[in-house]
Structure 1
Amino acid sequence: MSSSWLWHFITVSEEEKLRRRELLDLRGALAQVSIVVVIIALRVYQAWATARIPGDVPKTRRGPSSWWDRPLIAGWIETRRQYLVCSVWLAWLLSLAVWNSGDDYLHLTKALGHIALSQVPLQVLMSPAAYISTTKPSAASAFSFVTSIPQATVTPYHRLFGRVVIAPLLFGHASLYLLFFVQSSHPEFSSLLAKRVRDFDVQCGLLALSTVVLLLIFVRPRGVARKSGAQPATSMQERRRTFYFGHVLLVIVLCALAYSHVGYAQKYMLQALGASVVNGGCSVALVRWGSKA
């Protein structure tokens, strides 16, 4: 590792390893507590905004969308505002990973993966579980229900959160680890990489990374009309159904691989499972008994 690089391969004692493990757990906790703080802030802002607007004042007609509410690039779905929010959150999580890491390269590497996985439960809670419902496909997710933000607003953040926040952190974690393996020697192999790729935990990690790539490629279908006329509703419904089950299957595979990859991931994957049950139950209840989507 170049001496000009801020982080280096260093040897630490068992006591230092324990302290680093505690710091990693603290980072994950802070990353999740931050979510709760944001939700509380959203609710406080909503209460303040509601109190400021008299109930008998009619809503004004919405004017042209602002520059922030237009797509980042023509033809894209998500807006500049949505990219900005997710980018700010990514910056916050990166600062958590760097915080108190010293010059320990491996500690920073582990912190990136730890923080990335701590965000998976939130990603699940934002997902539109009723996406394939024919009656209320935009029924609120658990996150939408708790924050009172319409699911139509939450869903783009759900998509971007995976692409802009979780995926870069996981790619950074994997890239730094692979770089460490390549530059480290092993007495029986050409490099530590040649040894570690034979180990089950690393194989799970590489397969999990491949699953993330598939999730990024396997995007949701868009209801674009054909030149000869509108697209049949049944065809679009089938495409949505195929996407939904394929997407959910890939997420399940990713969580199973992460669970098998390293011990600290297990609690986050169990949280993601619990979040999935809560989110699914919330959406089912709102589809069946909710007065509006």
Structure 2
Amino acid sequence: MGWPYGFPALTEEDKLLRREALDLYACIAHYSALAPALVFLLYRFSRHVIHVIQEAHAGRASAATSQQGRYALVPGSPTVKAQHQQGMAGKLIRQWRKITWRLGDDVYLAGSHWGQWDEWLLGVLWTAWLLVLSVKGTGNDYFHLTKRLGAIAISQLPIQYLLANKALNPYAWAFKSSHEHINRYHRVLGRIIYGLVLVHLVLYNAYFIYAGIWLQRILDSVVFCGLVASLGLHGTTATAMRVARQLSYRLFFITHLAVAVLMPVLLFFHASSARLYIMEAVVVFILDLAVRRLTTIHAPCTLESVPGTTTLVKMTCSIPAHRAARFRAAPGSHIYLSIPPSSRTTTVPSSKSTFVPLLFNPFTVAAVNEQHGTIDLVARIRKGPMSSILSEITSSSATTSEPPTETRQTILAIQGPYGTMTAQFNDLLRWGPNRVLLISGGVGATFTLPIYHALQSQVPSAKLQLVWAMRSAGEATWAVSQPPPPNGKPILDDPRIHIFLTGDMGMAYDGNDVELSPFFSSRMDRRRRLTSSSTRNRKRPDIQKIVDDTFRQNLGDSVAVFVCGPADMTREVKRRVGTWARTGRRLWWHSETFGW
């Protein structure tokens, strides 16, 4: 079978019909992208209605049982759990749990990470759908096919911008997720759009070369705008590759931002028929940016090095009371930190860099103090530009000549709270876990420790266990110095918190420093207690044993597992938990990671 497409002669009426078909299929592609969110909203509404009906029915049944003098089963009892697990409904639920876990499994090709199975499934299905819309009704018209591919690609741009939003992300709201989780599908759709544009480019350039008019057409202003826009897509795709991001994440971010701003302008002049979608994308981008600016807090922050370490910085930031309440209601949330113009001074040379206005780094909220209206952030100093700025601010604060009674503060810009727990923590409470396992490595405890304390007070019946692995005892001093939660114990006295020291146990301060300062002396005492209490755990945690012991306690218990730490630790925990998840256990899983 030969190539089916050619260049049929078209009348003006035929061209008009082709334009109507292009607009129709682009419109279908555009609005069908909203279907998954609408379907899930309908699913959520249906579940809510069913839950209300079941509760009402259970209430009436319990009342009738009491009137008749019969024993009413206690919700959550072993008998009720056994009833729920039996029958066809129980089997279907267990099978669904297995499927959802498998869809969340990581995909590795040649030792490299290629996303998760749900991304691949959605990507294949959506690519197939868009290809059907690209081909259907094009007949044998080569130009119709070529134009259709471009129109379908541009119709997805507003959706692509929505998926990338932090503050105004309807998909995150519909799926009760975080923008970080939804951003995975932003990357999937970006690759699909790039693929459609690539075929669009190949077909047009092939025709220009075939007709001998390539140079003439490329220099045409309309075509040239499209060509430059496509170069932006090439650049975004190239810098988004893992190797490129590891070499320079800043280059990827700047390229990504520049293309997001400039590409709609170029496409506006390149494809006049698609200007509606282009304007939608611009409006989405501007609205999200405006909301983020309006909700940004310019907070006075005190920065100090965490005693016992040379790489950790603690930031205590004062925020309005109503915002502190939002952070308290979402333990495990994070913020995006930036350096406002007022804090870019000559005393901090790295803050004067041209790229500082483009820095928005995520940091987990380690603690919230509603009484004082503050939040605590703990950052590990690395080689990035934000690390350099924070390190210089901390050093300048430590060497300042101000009286010891005064604390030097720096204004930092804070956006948030963000994260999965902002949307799902209340759902977790309603879900009612019987057992909760929290595993963290290093500063990953800034995520797990607030959740531990929150569940300790709000789900007192749950059996909690927190495992914290760190290289040295000094990495825990920020947590040890915090006051214990109401009705809770200090972390060194809590038998459900297990600290593992995996590296050097050397002390950062010598005896003279301890004698000279009572402040440091109290902290050193806490560090000695930490070292002493963790002596039996001077090793790496046995993840397999910890996970297996948690799940074996009672096969009918619901288990929630949270992990935040190095990539190797996260993979190991997920692999061990997966053994139990694939049996259909009732499981709540969350892995907190930044980057991809």
Q: CA deviation at 1:179?
A: 1.0
- Structure ID, larger Rg: 2
Query: Aligned-pair distance for 1:150?
Result: 2.8
Change (3 A) 1:67 1:159: closer
Listed one character per residue, the Cα deviations across residues 17-63 of structure 1 (whole Å, up to 9, x for unaligned) are 001101111011111221232221121223344556788769x9x99
| Separation in structure 2 between the aligned mates of residue 168 and residue 112 of structure 1, nearest angstrom | 10
For residues 146 and 249 of structure 2, what CA distance do their matches in structure 1 show? Answer: 37
For residues 145-191 of structure 1, give each alpha carbon's deviation from its aligned partner in whole angstroms, at most 9, with x where no partner exists.
2442332321111112101x10001011111111111112xxxxxx1
Deviation per residue, 1:84-115 (Å, 9 max, x gap): 20221111011011111111110010000001
Paired with 1:85 and 1:282, the residues of 2 have a C-alpha distance of 30
Q: Matches of residues 252-267 of structure 1 in structure 2 within 5 Å?
A: 252-267=261-276
- SS of structure 2 residue aligned to 1:254: helix
SS at structure 1 position matched to 2:286: helix
Q: 2:132 aligns with which of 72, 79, 95?
A: 95
The offset of 1:193, in angstroms, is 1.2
Q: What residue in structure 2 maps to residue 279 of structure 1? A: 288
Q: Please give the TM-score of this superposition, normalised by the length of structure 2.
A: 0.40
Aligned match of 2:195 in 151, 157, 168? 168
Counterpart CA distance in 2 for 1:71 and 1:140 is: 30
Q: Deviations over 1:202-234 (max 9, x none)?
A: 111211111111001122889x99xxxxxxxxx
Percent identical:
26
Partner Cα separation in structure 2 for residue 193 and residue 242 of structure 1: 32
Residues matched between the structures, number? 260
Q: For residue 272 of structure 2, what is the amino acid of its counterpart?
A: G
Closer/same/farther in 2, CA of residues 196 and 128 from structure 1, 3 Å limit: same
Counterparts in 2 of 1:29 and 1:140: CA distance versus 1, 3 Å = closer
| Contact 1:72–1:80 (8 Å) recurs in 2 | no
C-alpha distance in structure 2 between counterparts of 1:104 and 1:88, whole Å: 26
User: Which ranges of structure 1 fall in alignment gaps of 5 or more residues?
Assistant: 130-138, 185-190, 226-238
TM-score normalised by L of structure 1: 0.77
1:108-157 CA-to-partner distances (Å, cap 9, x unmatched) read 1000000100000000001044xxxxxxxxx6734312442332321111
- Which structure's residues are more often strand, by fraction? 2
Residue type of the alignment partner of 2:105: D
Instruction: Return the offset for 1:83.
Output: 1.7
Over the aligned positions, Cα root-mean-square deviation in angstroms equals 3.3
For residue 188 of structure 1, what is the aligned residue in structure 2? none
Q: Higher helix share goes to which structure?
A: 1
* Aligned partner letter, 2:207: F
Aligned match for 2:171, one of 143, 161, 170: 143
Q: Is the counterpart of residue 179 in structure 1 residue 206 in structure 2?
A: yes
Give the structure 2 partner of residue 33 of structure 1: 31
Listed one character per residue, the Cα deviations across residues 247-276 of structure 1 (whole Å, up to 9, x for unaligned) are: 111222222221121212322211101111
Report which stretch shifted further, 99-108 or 31-40.
Answer: 31-40
1:187 maps to what in 2?
A: none
**In the alignment, residue 194 of structure 1 is paired with which amino acid?**
L
Which one-letter code corresponds to 1:71 in the other structure? V
Q: Distance in 1 between matches of 2:292 and 2:176?
A: 14
Asked whether the equivalents of residues 141 and 282 of structure 1 are also in contact (C-alpha less than 8 Å), the reply is: no
Structure 1 residues 127 and 220, CA gap change in structure 2 (3 angstroms): farther
Paired position in structure 2 for 1:109: 146
Secondary structure, aligned partner of 1:5: coil
Distance 2:214 2:254 in 1: 35
